[in-house]
Amino acid sequence: MATNHDDTRAQKRENIDPKEMIRPIPIAASLVTLGMVVFGVIYLLISEPLTTAQYGDQRTVADLSGSPQTADSNQAAAADGKALYAAQCAACHQANGQGVPGVFPPLDGSEWVQGEPRILANILLHGINGELEVAGQKYQGMMPAFPQLSDNELAETITYIRTAWSNRADAVQAGLFEAERQSGAGRTTPFEGGAALKALMEKNN
Amino acid sequence: MDSALLSLLAAFLLSLIGLLAFIWSLRKGLLFENPRAASTIFAPGEIGKADDPALDKDAAKRLQEAISASHQGEPQAEDPEEIEDRIAADRSSAFPVFMFIAFGCMWLILGATAGLVSSLKLHWPDWIVSDAWMTFGRMRTVHIIAVLYGWITNVELGIIVWLLPRLLRTPLKGPLWVMLGGSFINVGIASSIGAIGAGWSDGMEYLEIPWQIGLFIQAGMICIIGSVFYTLLHRKAHELYVSVWYHIAALLWITLLFTVAKLPGVHFGVQQAMTNWWYGHNVLGLWFTPVALGAIYYFLPKTIGRRVRSYNLSLLGFWTLAFFYAQVGGHHLVGGPVPGWLITLSIVQSMMMIIPVAAFSINMAGTMWGRMRLALYSPTLRFMMFGGFMYLLSSLQGSFESLRSIQQVAHFTHFTVAHAHLGAYGFVSMVLFGAVYFMMPRVLHWEWPYPKLISLHFWLASIGIMIYFVFLSWGGWLQGLAMLDATREFMESVRVTIPYLEWRSIGGGLMWLGHMVFVGHLLVMILRFGPNRTGEALFAPEKMKLEMMHGK
């Protein structure tokens, strides 16, 4: 501590510690208090928090369920092929459709994707387990089946992959899946690779 | 009408009636003796002592006469005991207070740097990303821990420990316990920052600190509370000034909040989200805010040498906050899978918070009336007034922001971030700066060497936060509108914010520079490099004196 100055001068020079005066609450503060209480009661009454099932911000299920529903009975919501691809396929085939070299075959430029839609539909319905040649390269992998998706969703998905990136093939209707589900009902295992797919192609031709 | 709705309404009204009855009984001394109502509120003879030792004797005498005249018959005689108590109180708390402020300033530099880096990353996404700890997710979390727990909490503890012995007129009991508690807390903060950098986090907003590390913070708070309560029990002051209510209550609240929110293995699912925001909003309203309000209640009248306008308003403000604040957090979950009545009640209570804000603001405006010009001359007052005004602004904004109609646009946008900074920086941090400028000469027995640097700090910080707030709110609102518009791609709502994010970085950069000036100045003061000044650090001592003499 320096000795050339008074250590307590700051304490000595300051104003007195504050105190409070006793005064009635100003009319403005009373009015604000009263106003807020009235607001609270009215808000509780008009927002009906208990009588209707709502999301917290007053939107209802109808507001949140997306685009208007079609009259077309059981396949209600319009499917979004791109979103389905991102959710179901992109983990292996990648968002750019290039797959992973040597592991997951590409969809972009694939002869299977742009070829006969009936075969592509069967791949999605039953999956593949065996050797498959895509764009000149052999793959030894397993493609799962997607029977849990509706016909409409499957059709939107393959329409998307047939037209995305550099692919330029025709769109596919949900009816194709309906037909192929019935004709392939006997199959319980995935296709055993490219040979089995070719056999299917020739059989129906 | 639904019987459930009736019971909700009845609960709301009954709690209000209960609160009014409680405040009324406090005033009338029904529950326990109320010394204020019974006897004089004036401590014997003190108000309006001239505060400028730079004056020569004659000038000091004139100043004292002018102040005396302006107080019109209020008791003036000096109470020598109070000054002795004050000196003893300051001496007892100097070491712990210095420790808290020093740690706080260290974390301020770290936290502000992490914040600025995070802000820059939002428009330079590829800048310094080579290691996991440099990425936005961790950098932003480090910023939050460092500024909320490191800076604000440390300095607020410093203010509490410094003010209570003064207001209770008792030396701090067990300063070593306070320092032990402070060490625990800062070990906890340092470990949390390391843990978050390494990717170990509890993953909830404001509760990222892993609970194992949280134990240090809880232990630290308990040490401090023990010492504070021991001081309270041995107090010489008869009455408890309003700052004492805020500070003691806030210490208890934060400890309870943090302990409950951090209980391991208890919170799951929707209930966890509700606990998260129960804590997340309460840590602002029941810890940062009441301590800063307590500080304004002390420093503002202290600097201008006046008494606080109305004890009744203080009562109303404190107890409405205490009774209703805990229900406010639910409005963060608007749109979530949470019962509708809970959200609605939380929105009503958020709007009810206008009552304490109005009570405080009217009280302070009444106290300051006619002396606002003093903010031109006194650094502490300037920071405190700015902070108090931002409290009014950010609280009103926060109340309306809880409404569903506003949230529809503002929720999940930068608008909320701007609001959070207006509260935590524009209000709380500015008040803390003002308090540090007042406290440190008493703690270090050394004046601030360069008053001009204080002014520079003020302008950097205040212009910085204004740029930050205005541009980020604006950009956030546009972002919200873009997200609502179904015809626009989501990415458009991101792109629209970029120029505003750049302005935010400019505002943040100014604030960061201000912190460098502030901490550098403090370092010069601690090391006693600068001139050994003798007078109070005022921007314009001569004008301050004239205003005190001739002002209303």
B39: left (phi over 0), alpha (psi -120 to 50) or beta: beta
Task: For residue A186, give the nearest of A172, A166, A203 by alpha carbon.
Answer: A203
Are A204 and A176 in contact, with CB atoms under 8 Å apart?
no
Q: Which residue has the tokens 């393959």?
A: A158
Instruction: Tell whether A53 is covered by a domain.
Output: no
Is residue A16 included in any domain, yes or no?
no
The domain that holds A74 is classified in CATH as 1.10.760.10
Exposure of A62 by Cβ count < 10 A (0-12 exposed, 13-18 middle, 19+ buried)? exposed
Q: Could you say which of A2, A10, A16 has the minimum Cβ distance to residue B305?
A: A16
> Closest Cα partner for A12 from B282, B229, B139, B82?
B82
Q: How far is B224 from chain A (nearest CA, A)?
A: 24
- What is the distance between the alpha carbons of residues A11 and B419, in angstroms, rounded to a whole number? 37
Among candidate residues B163, B289, B171, B184, the one with its CA nearest the CA of residue B230: B171
Cα B304 to Cα B67, B167, B390, B463, B550: the distances in Å are 11, 17, 20, 25, 13
What are the per-10-residue average pLDDT scores of chain B (552 residues)?
78 88 79 49 42 48 54 47 88 96 97 96 91 92 96 97 94 95 97 95 92 96 96 88 94 96 91 93 94 95 86 89 88 84 89 94 90 85 94 95 91 95 96 96 92 94 97 96 90 95 97 97 92 80 72 60
CB burial class (10 A; 0-12, 13-18, 19+) of residue A68? exposed
- Cα–Cα distance measured from residue B315 to residue B310, given in angstroms and rounded to the nearest whole number: 9
- Write the CA distances from A60 to A57, B348, B402, B468, integer angstroms: 9, 21, 20, 36
Please report how the helices B175-197 and B80-123 are oriented relative to each other, as an axis angle in degrees rounded to 10. 0
Q: Contact, A124 vs A158, CB < 8 A?
A: yes
Between the CA of residue B339 and those of A123, B1, B321, B411, what are the distances in Å?
45, 19, 24, 18
Distance of CA A50 to the CA centre of its chain: 31
Query: How far lies B443's CA from each of A117, B108, B167, B303, in Å?
Result: 82, 20, 16, 17
Give me the pLDDT at residue B170, please. 93
Structure tokens at B338: 């949470």
Domain assignment of residue A19, yes or no: no
* Residues A99 and A107: beta-carbon distance below 8 Å: yes
- Beta-carbon separation of B310 and A40 below 8 A: no
C-alpha closest to that of B432 among B537, B302, B295: B295
Which chain A residue's Cα is nearest to B352? A36
A187 vs A195: CA distance, rounded Å: 16
Strand duo A128-134 + A137-143: pairing: antiparallel
Our CA dihedral for B246, B251, B253, B258, rounded to 10 degrees, sits at 150
Secondary structure of residue B293 in the 3-state scheme: helix
**Do residues B492 and B445 lie in contact, with contact meaning Cβ atoms separated by under 8 Å?**
no
Q: Does A27 touch chain B (CB under 8 A)?
A: no
**Cβ separation of B87 and A1 shorter than 8 Å?**
no
The reply to whether B264 touches chain A by the CB within 8 Å rule is: no
Residues recorded for chain B: 552
Cβ contact (<8 Å) for A16 and B366? no
What 8-state DSSP symbol labels residue B473?
H
Q: Is residue A32 part of a domain?
A: no
Cβ within 8 Å of A, B 391-410: 404, 407-408
- Chain A CB contacts of B528 under 8 Å are 2
Q: How far apart are CA A153 and CA A132, in angstroms?
A: 25
Out of B302, B355, B532, the one facing A18 most closely (by C-beta) is B302
Does residue A2 contact residue B40 with C-beta atoms inside 8 Å? no
Which of chain B's residues have a Cβ under 8 Å away from the Cβ of A80? Answer: none
| Domain that includes residue A84, residue range | 58-204
Look at B507 and A135; give whichever has higher pLDDT: B507
Q: What are the tokens at B116?
A: 């600025």
Is A67 among the domain residues?
Answer: yes
Q: How far apart are CA B246 and CA B159, in angstroms?
A: 12
> Is residue A32 within a helix (H) or strand (E), and if so which, with residue range?
helix A27-46
CA–CA–CA angle B176, B177, B179 (5° rounding): 65
Among A5, A11, A42, the residue to mutate for chain B (most B Cβ within 10 A)? A11
* A86 within a domain of the structure (yes/no): yes
Number of domains in chain A: 1
For B367, B386, B456, the CA distances from B379, given in Å and listed in that order, are 18, 11, 11
d(CA A24, CA B129): 60
- When computed from its CA atoms, the radius of gyration of chain A, rounded to whole angstroms, is 34
Contact A44 B354 (CB under 8 A): no
What is the C-alpha separation between B241 and B297, in angstroms, rounded? Answer: 9
**Of A22, A5, A6, A17, whose CA–CA distance to B78 is shortest?**
A17
The token pair that represents B102 in the structure block: 């020093």
Residue A172 lies in a domain: yes
Cβ contact B70:B551 at 8 Å: yes
A74 at interface of B, judged by CB pairs closer than 8 A:
no
**Does A11 sit within 8 Å of B83, measured CB to CB?**
yes
Based on its alpha-carbon atoms, the radius of gyration of chain B, rounded to whole angstroms, reads 24
In chain A, count H helices and then E strands: 10, 2
Interface confidence: ipTM more than 0.90: no
CB contact under 8 A, A44 and B316: no
Rounded percentage of chain A residues whose pLDDT exceeds 70: 81
Question: DSSP class of residue B34?
Answer: -
Smallest CA–CA separation between A2 and chain B, in Å?
Answer: 9
Higher pLDDT, residue B195 or A196: B195
Please check whether residue A102 lies inside any domain of the structure: yes
Q: Which helix (H) or strand (E) holds A135?
A: none
DSSP assignment string, B255-289: HHHHHHHH-TTT--HHHHHHHHHHHHHHHIIIIIH
Q: Which helix (H) or strand (E) holds A137?
A: strand A137-143
Tell whether B94 lies on the interface with A, counting CB pairs under 8 A. Answer: no
User: Is A34 at the interface with chain B, CB within 8 A?
Assistant: no
Helices (H), B76-210: 80-123, 136-144, 154-168, 175-197
Structure tokens at B135: 């990425």
Residues 6+ apart with CB under 8 A from A76: A69, A70
CA distances in angstroms from B236 to A194, B165, B362, B503, listed in the order given? 93, 10, 30, 52
B439 within 8 A of B158, measured Cβ to Cβ: yes
Token reading at A16: 């007195």
A15/B297 touch (CB, cutoff 8 Å), yes or no: no
